[in-house]
């Protein structure tokens, strides 16, 4: 029974590692400038966590195999180095491991959050509400008009609550249900929640940020690959949460300009 248990632990440990090693269900491909830092951090953590996982399971299994059901008069062995040795080893090995992960991981985090957006980044506002995203581009004047929550009216397609009659800056604002961005240009995404908490997650962009009602946040990123990707909500926002999504199209600068013109004409 004990030996069978030991073998089971080893089989489970190996079977658990195989899909990771074979990338059976891989992470979505990275299409961002900063994403490789996150991916490298992920791989490094996977290597360290994987080795710790396999080592611990194997040692557990070997000890179960070796020391189970021994005769009553079998000598009790002492672990070499005793508790002191293990405590020192844990502090040195795990301590170094976690400090290294923490310090190197800061690089990836800093690239997303500790740098301001470039001066020539393209500002886009995204509003999350039950259960849709809407996007606003500032138009030729480069300015966003103010929001008037009391004017929000979905039936009239005034999703943001704009007063385009009286607010000069709002007049040329372009509102869309789909997000489009030019490739290789930094985007400064201004995030606004209309009702409850939501989140903006594009796995390929390596971007996930919550919308916080009452607190307008911003993030910035640069996409490097043309294509069409899904934006999904990851913050439980109500019954339609699973279906709250939008598409992100990454275009060449020329295609983006054409798309934006077309959207402006539709306003």
Interface with another protein in residues 99-158 (CB under 8 A): 99, 101-102, 105-109, 112-114, 129-130, 149-150, 152-155
Binding mask 59-78 for another protein (x = CB under 8 A): xx--xx--xxxxxx-xxxxx
Q: Which of 21, 52, 118, 227 binds another protein (CB under 8 A)?
A: 52
Taking the complex as a whole, the smallest distance from the CB of residue 6 to another protein amounts, in Å, to: 10
Taking the complex as a whole, the smallest distance from the CB of residue 186 to another protein amounts, in Å, to: 17
Question: Helix, strand or coil for residue 42?
Answer: helix
12 vs 118 by CB, closer to another protein: 12
Taking the complex as a whole, the smallest distance from the CB of residue 249 to another protein amounts, in Å, to: 14
Assigned token pair, 44: 């490094």
Q: How far apart are CA 222 and CA 135, in angstroms?
A: 17
Binding mask 154-183 for another protein (x = CB under 8 A): xx-----x----------------------
Query: Hey, which residues between 28 and 47 contact another protein (CB under 8 A)?
Result: 28, 37-38, 41-42, 45-46
113 vs 267 by CB, closer to another protein: 113
**Number of residues in contact with another protein, rule: CB under 8 A?**
105
Query: Hey, which residues between 195 and 234 contact another protein (CB under 8 A)?
Result: 195-197, 199, 201, 203, 206-215, 217, 230, 232, 234
Under the criterion CB under 8 A, does residue 258 sit at the interface with another protein?
A: no
Taking the complex as a whole, the smallest distance from the CB of residue 47 to another protein amounts, in Å, to: 10
Under the criterion CB under 8 A, does residue 12 sit at the interface with another protein?
A: yes
Neighbours of 258 (CB within 10 A): 13
Question: Helix, strand or coil for residue 79?
Answer: coil
Q: How far apart are CA 180 and CA 207, in angstroms?
A: 16
Q: Can you give the three-state secondary structure of 47-62, one letter per residue?
A: HHHHHHHHHHHHHHHH
Q: For residue 92, what are the CA distances in angstroms to 88, 95, 99, 100?
A: 6, 5, 10, 12
47 vs 118 by CB, closer to another protein: 47
**For the chain, how far is it from start to end, CA to CA, in angstroms?**
73
Q: What is the dihedral of CA 86, 92, 93, 99, to 10 degrees?
A: 140
- The one-character DSSP state at 129 is E
Q: How far apart are CA 73 and CA 101, in angstroms?
A: 46
- Interface with another protein by CB under 8 A: which range of 81-89, 118-126, 181-189, 252-260? 81-89
16 vs 267 by CB, closer to another protein: 16
Q: Which of 33, 36, 53, 185 binds another protein (CB under 8 A)?
A: 53
Helices 2-21 and 35-67: angle between axes, nearest 10 degrees: 170
DSSP secondary structure string, 162-218? Answer: --TTT-GGGTT-EEESSEEEETTSEEEEEEEESSS-EEEEEGGGTEEEEEBTTB-EE
Taking the complex as a whole, the smallest distance from the CB of residue 176 to another protein amounts, in Å, to: 19
Taking the complex as a whole, the smallest distance from the CB of residue 102 to another protein amounts, in Å, to: 5
């Amino acid at each position: 029974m004990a030996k069978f248990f030991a073998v089971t632990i080893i089989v489970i440990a190996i079977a658990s590692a195989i899909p990771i090693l074979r990338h059976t269900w891989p992470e979505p491909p990275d299409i961002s400038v900063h994403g490789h830092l996150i991916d490298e951090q992920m791989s490094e953590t996977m290597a360290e966590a994987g080795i710790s996982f396999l080592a611990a399971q194997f040692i557990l299994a070997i000890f179960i195999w070796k020391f189970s059901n021994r005769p009553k008069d079998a000598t009790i062995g002492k672990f070499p180095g005793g508790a002191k040795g293990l405590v020192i080893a844990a502090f040195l090995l795990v301590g170094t491991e976690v400090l290294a992960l923490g310090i190197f991981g800061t690089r990836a985090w800093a690239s997303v959050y500790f740098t301001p957006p470039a001066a020539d980044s393209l500002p886009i506002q995204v509003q999350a509400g039950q259960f849709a995203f809407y996007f606003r581009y500032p138009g030729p004047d480069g300015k966003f008009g103010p929001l008037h929550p009391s004017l929000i009216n979905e039936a009239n397609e005034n999703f943001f609550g704009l007063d385009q009659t009286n607010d000069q800056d709002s007049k040329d604002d372009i509102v869309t249900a789909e997000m489009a961005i030019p490739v290789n240009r930094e985007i400064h995404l201004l995030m606004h929640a209309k009702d409850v908490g939501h989140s903006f997650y594009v796995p390929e962009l390596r971007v996930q940020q919550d919308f916080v009602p009452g607190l307008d946040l911003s993030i910035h990123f640069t996409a490097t690959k043309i294509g069409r990707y899904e934006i999904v909500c990851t913050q439980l926002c109500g019954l339609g949460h699973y279906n709250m999504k939008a598409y992100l199209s990454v275009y060449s600068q020329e295609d983006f300009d054409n798309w934006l013109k077309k959207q402006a004409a539709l306003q």
